[in-house]
Amino acid sequence: MYTSMLRNHRLEWVDNLRVALTVLVVLHHAAQPYGPADWWYVEGQPRSGALATLSAIDGSFFMSLFFFVSAVFIPGSYERRGARRFLGSRLVRLGIPVVVGALTIVPGLMYAYFVHYRGYPPMSFPRYFTDVYLGLGDEPAGWSGPSWPDLQFGHLWFVQNLLAYTVVYAALRRLSRPLRFPHGKPGRALPLPGHRALVVLTVLLAAATFFVRLRYPLDEWVPFLDFLQVEPARVPQYVTFFALGVVAARQNWLERFDAGVGRVWLGVGATGVALLFLVGPDSNRFGPGGADVPSASWAAYESLLCVALCVGLLTLFRELVQGSTPWSREMAANSYAVYIIHLPVVVAMQYGLADRGLSAAGSCFVVFVLAVPSAFLLAAGLRRLPAVRRVL
């Protein structure tokens, strides 16, 4: 089962889902300055409650599903390459974009923010890079953050965390016999998850999320081991779905999962989304963290959305978005590069639309419609370069 799924053919519908998630990431970032109250590279823009709701819905599930989809292909790659080659390939494909992006893309974005919004005297980019971004100079008086120094990984946190999870997986494969595949077999078969298992998963995820958020509320990022950029409030979701992706690959759950169960949970997720648009994420029913009823309610509601939408979308794409075309295969091949390079495209457009008199929804729409094809075309061009193609 495991061998045929991950060695002999690639699941085209999973690639289609990955493209859709990449487009959703672009939409999420296109909406950032116009909806949620989070810090962003562009300030002072009109706000929309609907876009804030959209951001909350995205945040509840889409990166968890990204971790799941990424993890699905990890066991097969490990089996084909062996531990040493597997880790080498992951360090190239994940580690190089993180390092290069942290030295090029992110400082460019942070410099634009520094120039436009911090109110300090003009500073050249080279001096900003050494003194402020790397923190080799003195911290300016009245520093406005979001952190000192400006060095961070921005949207590359996902790639960085995925690399860390992958290294842990490889270490466990080497050290723990239960995670080995004897003679290429998938090991003991586990029952397919049904409604009861998914309810238990939701409850456990909600409890873990609530307890983590007693200490770390939403949107609080911490440096783990002085390297990993982590949002602890969502770590239970990310670790859980990464682990489930590995198990799904070993057990061939993606092809065997009951479509009827998936449709029910898709309906639950769609209902939850509709209700959230009715009440809005800023309702006093919801809280970012802490020992209070609103925060407990949001931890439970978000966990339900996470499980329901992940299961539902996996089922939807498997049943209805099968097959591929040359265009879809090209987009799938470029989707990882789009994730890496899309943010400066989005932010540049947001700067360009500032003070143009557009509404929040209008600005978001224009940025999204222009940024998606621009990012995919730019990614396709970059991947024509041999050295870049090996990484992206």
CB contact at 8 A, 269 and 312:
yes
Does pLDDT of 2 surpass 50?
no
Instruction: Specify the range with the lowest mean pLDDT, choosing from 2-11, 31-40, 210-219, 235-244.
Output: 2-11
CA 195, 197, 200 angle in degrees (round to 5)?
Answer: 110
Does pLDDT of 317 surpass 80?
yes
What's the pLDDT score for residue 386? 86
The rounded radius of gyration (Å) of the Cα atoms in the chain is 21
What's the pLDDT score for residue 6? 46
CA–CA distance, 53 with 392 (Å, rounded to integer): 32
Does pLDDT of 165 surpass 60?
yes
CA–CA distance, 89 with 71 (Å, rounded to integer): 15
Q: Where are the alpha helices (DSSP H) in the chain?
A: 2-3, 12-31, 49-72, 74-90, 96-103, 105-117, 125-127, 157-175, 195-213, 235-251, 253-256, 259-279, 293-320, 326-353, 360-382, 386-391
Taking residues 114-120, report their average pLDDT: 90
CA–CA distance, 168 with 69 (Å, rounded to integer): 17
Q: Count CB atoms within 10 A of the CB of residue 369.
A: 12
Where is pLDDT greater, at 151 or 263?
A: 263
CA–CA distance, 207 with 250 (Å, rounded to integer): 27
Taking residues 36-43, report their average pLDDT: 90
- Would you place residue 9 in the very low, low, confident or very high pLDDT band (cuts 50, 70, 90)? low
Spatial neighbors of 383 by CB under 8 A, at least 6 apart, are 333, 334, 337, 389, 392
What's the pLDDT score for residue 179? 47
pTM, two decimals, is: 0.92
Does pLDDT of 67 surpass 50?
yes
Q: Provide the percentage of residues in the chain whose pLDDT is more than 70.
A: 93
Residue 320 exposure: Cα atoms within 13 Å on the Cβ side = 9
Spatial neighbors of 381 by CB under 8 A, at least 6 apart, are none
Does pLDDT of 3 surpass 70?
no
Give one DSSP letter per residue of 127-159, joined into a string.
HIIIIIIS--SPPPTT---SSSS----GGGHHH
Q: Which residues pair with 228 in a beta bridge?
A: 224
What's the pLDDT score for residue 285? 66
* Tokens linked to 350: 């947001």
Instruction: Specify the range with the lowest mean pLDDT, choosing from 8-22, 179-193, 274-288.
Output: 179-193
- Would you place residue 59 in the very low, low, confident or very high pLDDT band (cuts 50, 70, 90)? very high
What's the pLDDT score for residue 174? 84
Where is pLDDT greater, at 185 or 300?
A: 300
Taking residues 40-62, report their average pLDDT: 93
Taking residues 284-290, report their average pLDDT: 77
Cα–Cα nearest to 20, from 62, 50, 79, 61: 62
What's the pLDDT score for residue 187? 57
Instruction: Specify the range with the lowest mean pLDDT, choosing from 179-188, 216-225, 326-335, 379-388.
Output: 179-188
Which residue's entry shows tokens 């409890």? 207
- In whole numbers, what is the pLDDT of the chain averaged over residues? 90
Sign of the Cα torsion 305, 342, 239, 251 reads positive
pLDDT tens-digit map of 100-110 = 999 999 999 99
What's the pLDDT score for residue 387? 85
What's the pLDDT score for residue 284? 55
Residues 321-334 as b/e (b if ≥16 CB within 10 A, e otherwise) read beebeeeeebbbbb
- Would you place residue 184 in the very low, low, confident or very high pLDDT band (cuts 50, 70, 90)? very low
What's the pLDDT score for residue 322? 87
Instruction: Specify the range with the lowest mean pLDDT, choosing from 77-86, 185-194, 298-307, 310-319.
Output: 185-194
Instruction: Specify the range with the lowest mean pLDDT, choosing from 70-79, 113-122, 128-137, 223-232.
Output: 223-232
* Tokens linked to 243: 């682990």
Spatial neighbors of 40 by CB under 8 A, at least 6 apart, are 32, 33
Taking residues 55-61, report their average pLDDT: 94
Does pLDDT of 61 surpass 90?
yes
What's the pLDDT score for residue 288? 86
For the CA atoms of 250, 253, 255, 259, the dihedral, rounded to the nearest 10 degrees, stands at 180
Instruction: Specify the range with the lowest mean pLDDT, choosing from 170-174, 262-266, 285-289.
Output: 285-289
Q: Where are the alpha helices (DSSP H) in 32-154?
A: 49-72, 74-90, 96-103, 105-117, 125-127
CA–CA distance, 354 with 6 (Å, rounded to integer): 47
Q: Which residues pair with 222 in a beta bridge?
A: 230
* Tokens linked to 143: 């520093």
Taking residues 342-363, report their average pLDDT: 95
